[in-house]
Chain A
Amino acid sequence: MTQTLLDKRLYDVLNAVALKKMATAAAVSEIVDLGTDQVREIFAELAHSDLLALMGETALPTDASGPVLVDSAAAIYGPIRDDPSVLQVADKFEDVNSRFLRTMSAWQQIEVGGRKLANDHSDSAYDAKVISTIERLVSRLEGLLEALSEKDARFRTYVGRFERSLEKVDAGDIAFVSDPTKDSVHNVWFEFHEDLLRTLGRARKE
């Protein structure tokens, strides 16, 4: 069955919504090279094609968006999928990702006598150690982000987003570690992971 293939502009917007799971035009505009009004127009176009569902100002991806994104990514990023300069660094991501997820859990919960208790963030030394590990793991993405950015400049936005969220954390706003309602390190990491999988045509591991 022939699928709709999106041009790069439509792909970037639909991909951004799919990564965020629900997003306003303003939020998408911050991570694609388009103004809010332009994104809003594309939202309408994608909704007309049944690829987005609009709930007020918020867009959510429909079931139909999944296969269209997969096929469009294959067409757009075909050359990257065979590029050794990308694959060499991408292959190391899963290991770094596993460590990142464990570190996020350590940020949320502290082990005391075999029990996991919610981290109340009263132990600044513990928090500092976990944040240091998070910063080190984010820095491990530099090579991969650079390799991808050379092929598609939009991947450079992740570099800026990681920097901004880590700056907030360093300034004491620790919600930017993992708060899902902010552009936290965990949110940015998670979006990058999904983006990477779609770009390279890989499946998520359990």
Chain B
Amino acid sequence: MQVVAEGFNAFETQKTPQGEVKYLGSPQDVIDVVQSGKLQEYILLVRGGTTTFLTPALTMGALGVITMSGAPESHLGILSREFQIPCVMTAYLTESDSRYVVGNTDDSHFDEIAQSLIGKTVQLNCDDAEVGRVSLIG
């Protein structure tokens, strides 16, 4: 499997969830995915560790989460540990030099990650103490 993105690992786990990357950008996106009955087919991609509208998806049994900003100490990091949902935070593309910098990251950084991952089938590996990995499968 090819590692396409890495980030902070919210917690160590042997779980290796697989699914199609689905971007959730708004509360309505969360409502739609929960109502679709397909929540467990997806790895959820969100912009930040403070993306609080994601909570219903976590409550309803999301498989795994990738964030493009935010720290393991954030609210979302805390929730992912409580729900034991693997979570790669502040993910960056391994083949790109673009990195998230607090308060100094323009939309192109997030767009590049989203365009590279949305719709792809990936696996999360979160068994490392510090680094969570996103790998392409299939």
Which residues on B sit within 8 Å (CB–CB) of A206?
Answer: 48-50, 69-70, 74, 102-103
- A-contacting residues, B31-62, CB 8 Å: 31, 34-35, 48-50, 52-53, 55-56, 58-59
Closest Cβ of chain B to A37, distance in Å, is: 24
Interface size class, chain A: 20 to 34
Report if A42 contacts B (CB, 8 A): no
Q: Chain B: interface residue count, which band?
A: 20 to 34
- Given A55-B35, A194-B52: A60 in contact with B70 (beta carbons within 8 A): no
B89 → chain A closest CB, angstroms: 11
Whole-angstrom distance between the alpha carbons of A204 and B67 in the complex?
16
Q: 30 A-B residue contacts at CB 8 Å?
A: A21-B53, A21-B55, A21-B59, A53-B31, A55-B34, A55-B35, A60-B27, A60-B30, A62-B28, A62-B31, A63-B26, A101-B74, A104-B78, A105-B72, A105-B77, A108-B11, A108-B78, A115-B12, A116-B11, A116-B12, A116-B129, A118-B11, A178-B78, A178-B82, A180-B55, A204-B50, A206-B49, A206-B50, A206-B102, A206-B103
Binding site for A on B (CB under 8 A): 11-12, 26-28, 30-31, 34-35, 48-50, 52-53, 55-56, 58-59, 69-70, 72-75, 77-79, 81-83, 102-103, 129
